[in-house]
Chain A
Amino acid sequence: MTETDNIGTTVDLTPMRSKKLSRSVFRRFLRHRLAVVGGAMVVILLSSALCAPLLAPHDPLLIETSQRFLAPGDNAAFPLGTDELGRDTLSRLLYGGQISLVVGITAMLMTVITGSLVGIVSGYFGGWIDNVLMRFVDTMLCFPQVFLLLVIAAFVTPSLLSISLIIGLTSWMEVARIIRSEILTLKEQDFIKAAVCYGSSHTRIMVRELLPNAMAPILVAATLKVATAVLMESYISYLGYGIQPPLASWGNMLTNAQGYFDTVPFLAILPGVMITLTVMSFNFLGDGLRDALDPRLKMGQ
């Protein structure tokens, strides 16, 4: 067993003035070069998706079968090549980004917020609240996610927002369980006990003390969930409950490329790389955020 005697975590009981806190956080974040790069990438990805109508060289839905299966660079008019119907890949990636990024980010936020909320409340209060919440988590986990997704999706008219919410609502349980376990150990530590003694309110303890200290797994979950949500969207769409063809999303571009994985590999690789880039950026952004928020970690080790 661990030597649990030395739990000398930095006890920061003097409530910092929020202005000062946020300034130092921001400074620490800026010092984190990768995080800045990650943040910039997220901005670039988002704005290029947003400006797709301006940036896209072609109509993403326009079928030009005489030009199909062009590889990137084959034809200057189609810089990233074309798909099986001769649609421009670059334009589809740009427009697809609108769908995939919205789904990825919204679903991730939904997952992380619900998961953390349930995890923190459950872990902190314990007792019957914990019991009720965790049995609810158990119940949700009993239904395969695909099953839940399909059942809910069948009742809600598919829209970008509804798909994102559905994905979020069916994938927070794992996060809740992890955060709860984290909170269970945290709340036994002296600084929380001290905060309770000082008479801090429950909300204050949960938000100001527990949440920042449980940030690490939350941010990891956030990164992971962006990727799974983007791929999950394509699965729902593949089954007919999501984005309808001929609209593009990175996920459904990947799915459609399945039959050409060896003959026209770019069709799958390009959207895959876009998803990788997105997740990567979020990961570095998350890393930076965590370092910036976590008072215990020193920079530049």
Chain B
Amino acid sequence: MGRSNKSGKTFTRRDFVKATGAAAGALTAATILPSRGNAAKADRIIIGHSQEPVQYNPLLYVNRGTENGPESAMFDALWDMNEKGQFVPNLATEVPSIENGRVSEDGKTWKIELKRDVKWHDDQPFTAKDVAFTYETIMDPKTAVRSRSGFDLIDGLKVVDDHNVEIVLKEPYTPFLWSWQEMHIVPMHILKDEPDINTSAFNSQPTGTGPFKFKSRTAGSHIVFERFEDYHRGAAKVKSLIQKTVPDTMVLYGQVKTGEVDYMMTSLPYDRWDEAAALPDRAFVELPLPWVQFIYFNCGKPQFADPKVRKALYMACEMQKSLDDIYLGRWKRTLSYLHTSHWAYNHDLKDETPNIELAAKMLDEAGWKVGADGIREKDGHKMKFTMSTTAGNTARQGCQALFQQNWKAIGVEMEINNMPGSVVWGEYTTKSQFDTLLVAWAPIVGMDPDYTARCHSQYIPAKHGQGSNYVQYENAEVDALLDKGAITVDRAERTKIYGEVQKILLDEVPFAPQGGVFGGFVMDKGLTGVKPNQYVTDSTWNIQDWSWS
């Protein structure tokens, strides 16, 4: 059924059936039920997500994805990341850099100038005090902010005047731009008297500077946003924006087909991509998402202490086949923690998988000999371990089954031990209790190639109580490279540093890269201004530019 049908002013078949279906007199119903006209369609965009955003305070939400909808609709950051991978100013007049003199030569002092014509949704002016307040709130021990990454490096933040802020860092930190790109600014005049920001009414009825104002929320169903006429980058093209929650992905897909949803924020299952791409009046976009999927080896376990063993296990896996057959060729093979399309990706890396013979030989050399039961063993340890991931993820279960089969061929026994997300990603992961995990993770600081928290030896939480090096990987050379990369500004130089890190990681395989995650999104063909952006997690990052053609 075409668009003309669903938006036509005439009495359509759908309206008729709808009326009869309502178990009321058909004629009465038809006159009562208004048919939705073109005007309504042109004035609103309905985006659909399978999860319901519950936290609209940009400092407090937990995970990226669901809550990015309200965030990008209602709030602004100092600068954004565009689809070309460049920082572009948003609330700031300019993105600070050494070239434009806003970052000092030693990289420690940052001068940020703010736009002057910015207003909060309640007409109050936006000033430097709001930026300072946002920083102070993030660092307040009573605030349940998800992360202080980057902000904990700030030595001092000074409000110079209403539109200028000066930040001094304890040490230079190149990815610092990302920290502010990910934190949107909250209003001081509303939140300063709030006794407890974690339970503030603001969190479900916020006031921001963004292109849309909060209008209403129907629990479990949808949120309605209304255009903010005084938006500093120009008022949005449509009057209202609706974020709808449709828990089942297949039903959500059905709603995009019927026109009940205009843009599907949740990625479509891979087996539906061809069908979706062929839909007559729907557009289909395929794009890399920041995540890369890995097999995580816990280097603290006796089986995985030896890099040679990890490499052998990695070599036995049919990685390309897993992507082709389980992700139907939609994901792209990558050999590092970055997508191959990332500027810092090391293109000299070679894919050596699968090589069963070599894998078996390497295990032999490492001293793991096949025992009487067909399973390899060494010093009383069996080459036997579990692999865990969130239960119920059928695609990952398929990968696990394939790797299990691959490893069985070289005398390695893997048992699948999947658990609910709240268990597997709790202390089981953070205290490094797992054997192996199958997990997809994005880079740690936006899309910056810095990977300190994941593989620097000082960032093993089980040992040092900080970081997220859950595999407990220790390598002095990698440590030195990571330390250097974090303070190096020149991109070519950084490419070299992180290229070397990627090379070592592929040799020692603390985590075995499988593939870069891709997503497929369906939308109404009439929707314009949608800019797929692989550098951010929110597809609605430029929602103010969306409109109907």
A and B touch in the complex (CB under 8 A): yes
Query: Are A246 and B397 interface neighbours, CB within 8 A?
Result: yes
- Tell me whether A259 and B394 are in contact in the complex, defined as CB-CB below 8 angstroms, given that A63-B402, A65-B321, A246-B400 are known contacts: yes
Tell me whether A240 and B423 are in contact (CB under 8 A).
Answer: yes
Decide yes or no whether A159 CB sits under 8 A from chain B: no
Distance (whole angstroms) from the CB of A156 to the closest CB of chain B: 14
Contact A244–B402 (Cβ < 8 Å): no
Please report the C-alpha to C-alpha distance between residue A258 and residue B269 in the assembled complex, in whole angstroms.
12
Q: Are A256 and B401 within 8 A (Cβ)?
A: no
Interface string of B375-402 (1 = CB under 8 A from A): 0000000000000001110100110111
* B404 proximal to A (CB < 8 A): yes
Chain A residue contacts of B402, Cβ below 8 A: 63, 85
Q: How many contacting A-B pairs (Cβ < 8 A)?
A: 62
> Residues 55-98 of chain A: 1 if any B CB is under 8 Å from the residue's CB, otherwise 0?
00000011101001000000000000000110000000000000
A258–B395 Cα distance when bound, in Å, is 13
Quick check: B401 and A259 within 8 Å, CB to CB? no
Query: With A63-B405, A239-B391, A239-B392 given, is the CB distance from A245 to B420 under 8 Å?
Result: no
A246 to B401, CA, bound (A): 6
User: Please, how many angstroms separate the alpha-carbon atoms of A244 and B326 in the complex?
Assistant: 19
Bound together, the chains give a CA A258 to CA B394 distance in angstroms of 10
Is A240 a contact of B392 with CB atoms below 8 Å?
yes
In this assembly, does B162 line the interface, its C-beta being within 8 Å of a C-beta of chain A? Answer: no
Q: How far is the CA of A260 from the CA of B269 in the complex (A)?
A: 10
Out of A85, A150, A239, A240, which one reaches B401, CB within 8 Å? A85
**Cβ of B62 under 8 Å from chain A:** no
Indicate if the CB atoms of B271 and A239 lie closer than 8 Å.
no
Chain A 7-49: CB-based contact to B (< 8 A → 1; otherwise 0) = 0000000000000000000000000000000000000000000
The complex places the Cα of A199 from the Cα of B390 at a distance, in Å, of 61
Chain A proximity of B207: nearest CB distance (Å): 38
Interface residue B117 (Cβ < 8 Å from any Cβ of A): no
- Residues of B within 8 Å of A62, CB to CB, are 405
Residues of chain A with a CB closer than 8 A to B357's CB = none
Contact of A256 among B271, B321, B394, B417 (CB under 8 A): B394
CB distance from A89 to the nearest CB of B (A): 15
From residue B174, how far is it (CB to closest CB) to chain A in Å? Answer: 40
Q: Does A263 contact B (CB under 8 A)?
A: yes
Partner of A244, one of B321, B394, B417: B417
- Please tell me if the beta carbons of A240 and B416 are within 8 angstroms of each other in the complex: no
Across the interface, A240 reaches (CB within 8 A) one of B269, B398, B405, B419, namely: B419
Determine whether B105 belongs to the interface, using a CB cutoff of 8 Å to chain A: no
Is B35 an interface residue, CB under 8 A from the partner? no
- Also in contact, A240 and B400, with CB within 8 A (given A65-B321, A259-B271, A260-B271): no
Return A157 CB to nearest CB of chain B, in Å: 11
State which size class the interface on A falls in. 20 to 34
* Chain A stretch 206-255: residues in CB contact (< 8 A) with chain B: 237-241, 244-246, 255
CB pair A239–B420 under 8 Å, yes or no, is: yes
Q: How far is the CB of B48 from chain A (nearest CB, A)?
A: 18
Most interface-central of B321, B394, B423 (chain A CB within 10 A): B394
Known: A240-B423, A245-B416, A259-B394. A61 touches B401 (CB 8 A): yes
Checking A85, A154, A238, A260 against B391 with a beta-carbon cut-off of 8 angstroms, the contacting residue is: A238
Q: Are the C-beta atoms of B404 and A240 separated by less than 8 Å?
A: no
Contact with A along B454-491 (1 / 0, CB 8 A): 00000000000000000000000000000000000000
Kindly list chain B residues whose C-beta atoms are within 8 Å of the C-beta of A68: 325
Give chain B residues whose Cβ lies under 8 Å from the Cβ of A238.
391-392
On chain B, the residues within 8 Å of A261 by CB distance are 250
| A85 to B, closest residue via Cβ | B398
Tell me if B20 counts as interface (CB < 8 A to partner A): no
Q: Which B residues touch A150, using CB under 8 A? A: 420
Find chain B residues with CB under 8 A from A239 CB. 391-392, 420
| Shortest Cβ distance from B397 into A: residue | A245
Check: B418 CB closer than 8 A to any chain A CB. Answer: yes
Q: What residue of chain A has the Cβ atom nearest to residue B415's Cβ?
A: A244
A83: nearest residue on chain B (CB-CB)?
B398
Min CB distance A209 to B, Å, is 47
State the CA gap A144–B4 with chains docked (Å).
Answer: 47
Q: Are B391 and A240 in contact (CB under 8 A)?
A: yes
Q: How distant is the Cα of A61 from the Cα of B400 in the complex, in angstroms?
A: 12
CB within 8 Å of A: which of B268-284?
A: 269, 271
User: Which A residue's beta carbon lies closest to that of B419?
Assistant: A240
User: For residue B392, which residue of chain A has the nearest CB?
Assistant: A238
CA distance A255 to B393 in the complex (A): 11
In angstroms, Cα B404 to Cα A244, docked, is 13
Q: Are B269 and A63 in contact (CB under 8 A)?
A: no
Given known A240-B391, A259-B394, contact A245–B271 (CB-CB < 8 A):
no
The answer for the CA separation of A61 and B402 in the assembled complex, in Å, is: 10
**Complexed CA–CA distance, A238 and B397 (Å):** 11
Interface flags, B414-439, vs A, CB<8A=1, else 0? 01111110011000000000000000
Q: Given B271, B325, B390, B391, which contacts A263 in the complex, CB threshold below 8 Å?
A: B271
Beta-carbon contact of B392 and A84 below 8 Å: no
Q: Chain A residue with minimal CB distance to B391? A: A240
* Complex A-B: 7 CB contacts under 8 Å: A61-B401, A65-B325, A150-B420, A239-B391, A245-B401, A255-B392, A263-B271
Query: Told that A85-B326, A241-B391, A244-B418 touch, could you supply 5 new A-B pairs with CB distance under 8 A?
Result: A85-B398, A237-B391, A246-B401, A246-B416, A256-B397
The 9 closest A-B pairs by CB, nearest first: A240-B391, A65-B325, A246-B401, A245-B397, A240-B419, A244-B416, A238-B392, A240-B418, A240-B420
Q: Using CB atoms and an 8 Å cutoff, list the residues of chain A in contact with chain B.
A: 61-63, 65, 68, 84-85, 150, 154, 237-241, 244-246, 255-256, 258-261, 263
